[in-house]
Amino acid sequence: MPASPDQKLWVRTRQAVHAQVARTAMGLFLERGFEATTIDDIAAAAGISRRSFFRYFGTKEDIVLGDLAAHGEQIRKELEARPATEDAWSALLNALRHAPRPGPDDATTLKISKMLYNTPSLRARSLEKHLQWQALLTPDIRHRLGVAPDDEHDLRAEAIVACVLTCLDVAGEAWTRGNGTTPLEDLVLAAVAAVRGSAAVP
């Protein structure tokens, strides 16, 4: 049943408020620090009540990392669209490379990344999101490897996906430490090459 005009207006309004609160919160996080900014601070700056805040976000961490779940879906779609001739490693890396990820400019991204890697609760939630990515990406890799969906003993797909995601995290931390001077993609490829014991990744 198609949504009524009132329902569409409600959805647009909710999305607009969600985006406004997120922008306000990120501004406070970058100005004051993540841990120094309280939910009450965010609610007051956004002109909403504390109760209203929890209608849009479960935690402060969700404001910073809320788009990771959606990005995982984009990577899954890219992975499933990769040619069947690509091996598991190449397909994963190409999916990561080509998945669209609209976001802030590089300078702001670097500030957010520094906040993420320097805040234990954000780092933990980021790793939790990557576990969700692993569940999304593993089925395609199992198919590429010819592993039966019900084979519980062949762990190659799970291991490859976990390895690539760990390399992505390690590369992201190195990119942050280096203030973004080395392209993230180069760091990811270097990390994967080190794990695979080769000088280059196909």
Q: What pLDDT is attached to residue 162?
A: 96
Question: Closest Cα to residue 72, out of 147, 165, 155?
Answer: 165
Q: What pLDDT is attached to residue 179?
A: 95
Q: What pLDDT is attached to residue 202?
A: 47
pLDDT in tens, 25-42: 999 999 999 999 999 999
In the numeric block, which tokens belong to residue 31? 């100005």
C-alpha to C-alpha distance for 5 and 53, rounded to whole angstroms: 25
Work out the pLDDT band at 145, boundaries 50, 70, 90: very high
Work out the pLDDT band at 13, boundaries 50, 70, 90: confident
User: Which range has the worst mean pLDDT, 11-20, 129-138, 139-148, 176-185?
Assistant: 11-20
Q: What pLDDT is attached to residue 12?
A: 79
Work out the pLDDT band at 80, boundaries 50, 70, 90: very high
Q: Which position has the higher pLDDT, 19 or 103?
A: 19
Domain extents in the chain: 5-63, 66-196
Can you identify the CATH homologous superfamily of domain 5-63? Homeodomain-like (1.10.10.60)
Spell out the residues 6+ positions from residue 153 whose beta carbon is closer than 8 angstroms to its own: none
C-alpha to C-alpha distance for 60 and 54, rounded to whole angstroms: 10
Angle between helices 156-177 and 184-196 (to 10 degrees): 140
pTM for this predicted structure: 0.84
Count other C-beta atoms under 10 Å from residue 131's C-beta. 10
C-alpha to C-alpha distance for 173 and 191, rounded to whole angstroms: 12
pLDDT more than 70, % of the chain: 91
Class of domain 66-196: mainly alpha
Work out the pLDDT band at 5, boundaries 50, 70, 90: low
Mean pLDDT within 52-63: 92
Q: CA angle, 51 as apex, 50 and 53 as ends, to 5°?
A: 65
Spell out the residues 6+ positions from residue 135 whose beta carbon is closer than 8 angstroms to its own: none
pLDDT in tens, 171-195: 999 999 999 999 999 999 999 999 9
Residue-averaged pLDDT of the chain:
90
